[in-house]
Structure 1
Amino acid sequence: MKALRLLLLCGMSLCMTAVLARPIRVGMIHWIAFSPLNVAESKGFWKEQGLEVQVTNFPDNQSLNAALQSKKIDIALDMIGSWVGLHQQGVPIVILGETDWSHGGDKIIGRNGVDVKALKGKTIGIYLNQPSVTYFLNQYLKQNGLRLADVKAVEATPEKMTDEFIQGRFPLIVNYDPQALRARRQGNGVEVANSSNWPGVIPEGFVGNAETLKEIPADDLRRFFVGWVHAVRWVKNDAAWAEYQKILNGMTFAGEKPYTAFDLIGMLNSVRIHNGNELLRRNRPEGGLIGYLRDLKQFLQDNQQLKRPFEPEQLVDTSALLAALKTAQ
């Protein structure tokens, strides 16, 4: 009888665990560097960890950020500088780790023959009015004797901004592939700079809503990152290329006209998805992530845009990712 009672109690405990557990809700946008999320889902890397994850692919950065703020998702993957921007707006966030760089994928497209010096006072289109993008734009303007305050930056979604560039509204835009490709091909555009000109100028990574993160057990978060590490390894395996193309066109760029292998390779070459060693180097204490956040804070101060002072270490908790790197095999 005692043994039966013990079995019943164990069964009740397992049931309670199943009831309390819920999927980790993760958001992304149509960007090739974030495709390991789709790979982890498609290949079952999270299921191998006993974890259920729901990935939502949002059409643009704005809707992704709104979902994080409204707690419709727990975790988002996008540009680190945007997470600082949300913190400036009072959104409770925790940066969970840097995963990649835009390394050519973010582009500054000018109309053919544009005179950079003549841009003073002009309207420039940017796909997101957040420090992630304005910091990048400022690097280009500084190189050409201007500064951010010399131009008027107007936010528009990538597709709409490309449409308006083609129609002649903007002399210069900051956009990313695949819409940057369309601006060049259909709008007489010329790439005048890209994110590879300043390596690491647009790091990207995971952020969590600080309030909903409290609901996720620490070990679940570690297992989530184990799935990510496994997906990155799979992506970097050349033998997986044929299947990877299907995942990219079917999931990462769902709803868009399928891209050719040539275009996908071009997009992949324009990002730097961190392998295990680079993840460790960038996310350890006093690593590259903290260095970037210090530089970004200085940029905000210099441009009178630091509305909410912060110390980089206070925004970051990479412990789950670092633990995953120790255990991922």
Structure 2
Amino acid sequence: MKRFLALGLAAFFAMTAVLTGCSSTPEKIRIGEVTRSLFYAPQYVALEKGFFKEEGLEVELSTIPGGDKVMSALLSGGIEVALVGSETSIYVSLQGAVDPVVNFAQLTQTDGTFLVSRNKMDDFTFDKLKGSVFLGQRKGGMPQMVGEYVLKKHKINPQGDLELIQNIEFKNIASSFASGTGAYVQLFEPEASRFEQEGIGHVVASFGTESGTVPYTVFMTKQSYLDSNATAIQKFTNAVYKGQQWVASHSAKETANVIGKYFEQIDPTILETAVQRYLGQGSYATDPILDEKEWNQLQDIMDSAGELKQRADYTKLVNTTFAIQSKEGK
């Protein structure tokens, strides 16, 4: 039943694309982002500055918590484009997907988490984690895999040298630490900056800086959609690139002001601090090109965490054509 439903949806969207191409009505693309995050600032800038509209696109953004749920929405036709970690496309491929999910535009190029200590440390070294209680991220997710990769890089066995907690839901990790769980925690912004401001914790290291460049968050779609909607995907990628260039050429305060409507519950000062932290460590990709070196680094991290059954072919799951053309202005 699900198979026939998926086929029906695919046929419907294909017909919609044809009809749209024959009218002046902007083509609609639905994006499903895995979470609402400051990490995705260039996307929000592209939306707020009208870069998608300039390209003749009507973009509808929804937040779908959980990489598995985002992939389900993409594969079933509920969305056309997913914004999620590249590892999800590898998982889908290894399950034998007939219609593979293809990465076409990179948004972030480092891990976005920080190591936060309950106690302030001016002389932090990673070996101080030994024997501590470390509140990590969900097993199998990219944040946790990067966390373990960095610990191993510093000669720390995540399963033996400390007490690693990874059974707490993503949305509850920050509140669990605030309520007293753990001596260290792995957090995204703006929680890291908020905890510093409130005296709950102190940033002592960046997992993004420690783990190097990786395709951490990428826009992806099904191969079938890519094949039948190449013009729309090119326009979409052009808008993403404009957003990336805008963020790269403006201050953290200017970016924070533009994206503020997406984070109304966050203090503007913390918003600016968090954006500056990501800018400072080069987390925001300045162009949408996902290169093979980054892809291989991602798989090295997955392999180190024991989450990669076999390596995925870069040429099958990554298409840089649209990103290259955007950067070259074609």
- Whole-Å separation in 2 of the counterparts to 1:78 and 1:233: 21
- The answer to whether the Cα contact below 8 Å between 1:93 and 1:207 also exists between their aligned partners in 2 is no
Unaligned runs of at least 5 residues, structure 2 = 1-17, 122-127
Aligned to 1:94: 102
Aligned to 2:37: 31
Corresponding residue to 1:145 among 149, 155, 172: 155
Query: Which of structures 1 and 2 has the bigger CA Rg?
Result: 1
Corresponding residue to 2:129 among 116, 120, 142: 116
- The question of 1:173 aligning with 2:169 is answered no
Identity level (%): 19
The secondary structure found in structure 2 opposite 1:203 is: coil
Aligned to 2:307: 305
Corresponding residue to 2:265 among 254, 257, 266: 257
- The answer to whether the Cα contact below 8 Å between 2:189 and 2:274 also exists between their aligned partners in 1 is no
The secondary structure found in structure 1 opposite 2:31 is: strand
More divergent stretch after superposition (211-220 vs 317-326): 211-220
Distance 1:324 1:187, change over 3 A: same
Structure 2 matches for 1:195-206, cutoff 5 A? 195-198=207-210, 200-206=212-218
Shift of 1:201: 4.5
- The question of 1:274 aligning with 2:285 is answered yes
Distance 1:16 1:311, change over 3 A: closer
Shift of 1:222: 0.6
The secondary structure found in structure 1 opposite 2:166 is: strand
Distance 1:173 1:212, change over 3 A: farther
- The question of 1:317 aligning with 2:319 is answered yes
- Whole-Å separation in 2 of the counterparts to 1:62 and 1:263: 28
- The question of 1:75 aligning with 2:81 is answered yes
Deviations 1:292-328 (A, max 9, x none): 3223333444443323542233221121221222236
Distance 1:36 1:45, change over 3 A: same
- Whole-Å separation in 1 of the counterparts to 2:184 and 2:53: 45
The secondary structure found in structure 2 opposite 1:270 is: helix
Distance 1:110 1:238, change over 3 A: closer
The secondary structure found in structure 2 opposite 1:138 is: helix
- The question of 1:327 aligning with 2:329 is answered yes
Distance 1:47 1:240, change over 3 A: farther
Shift of 1:290: 1.4
- Whole-Å separation in 1 of the counterparts to 2:269 and 2:140: 32
Shift of 1:30: 2.4
Shift of 1:18: 3.8
- The answer to whether the Cα contact below 8 Å between 1:136 and 1:201 also exists between their aligned partners in 2 is no
Aligned to 2:5: none
The secondary structure found in structure 1 opposite 2:205 is: strand
- Whole-Å separation in 2 of the counterparts to 1:262 and 1:51: 32
Distance 1:89 1:111, change over 3 A: farther
| Partner AA of 1:45 in structure 2 | F
- Whole-Å separation in 2 of the counterparts to 1:18 and 1:125: 50
- The answer to whether the Cα contact below 8 Å between 1:110 and 1:191 also exists between their aligned partners in 2 is yes
Shift of 1:161: 0.7
Deviations 1:156-179 (A, max 9, x none): 444411111112223332220012
Distance 1:229 1:75, change over 3 A: same
The number of residues matched between the two structures is 299
- The answer to whether the Cα contact below 8 Å between 2:192 and 2:202 also exists between their aligned partners in 1 is no
- Whole-Å separation in 2 of the counterparts to 1:79 and 1:229: 18
- Whole-Å separation in 2 of the counterparts to 1:64 and 1:262: 28
- Whole-Å separation in 1 of the counterparts to 2:195 and 2:253: 28
| Partner AA of 1:179 in structure 2 | E
Distance 1:300 1:14, change over 3 A: closer
Aligned to 2:229: 217
- The answer to whether the Cα contact below 8 Å between 1:158 and 1:176 also exists between their aligned partners in 2 is no
- The answer to whether the Cα contact below 8 Å between 2:150 and 2:211 also exists between their aligned partners in 1 is no
Aligned to 2:259: 248
The secondary structure found in structure 2 opposite 1:198 is: helix
Give the RMSD, CA atoms, in angstroms: 3.6
- The answer to whether the Cα contact below 8 Å between 1:84 and 1:131 also exists between their aligned partners in 2 is no
- Whole-Å separation in 2 of the counterparts to 1:113 and 1:239: 28
| Partner AA of 1:310 in structure 2 | A
The secondary structure found in structure 2 opposite 1:314 is: helix
Shift of 1:38: 2.3
Aligned to 1:129: 139
- Whole-Å separation in 2 of the counterparts to 1:71 and 1:236: 33
Corresponding residue to 1:194 among 186, 206, 212: 206
Aligned to 1:9: none
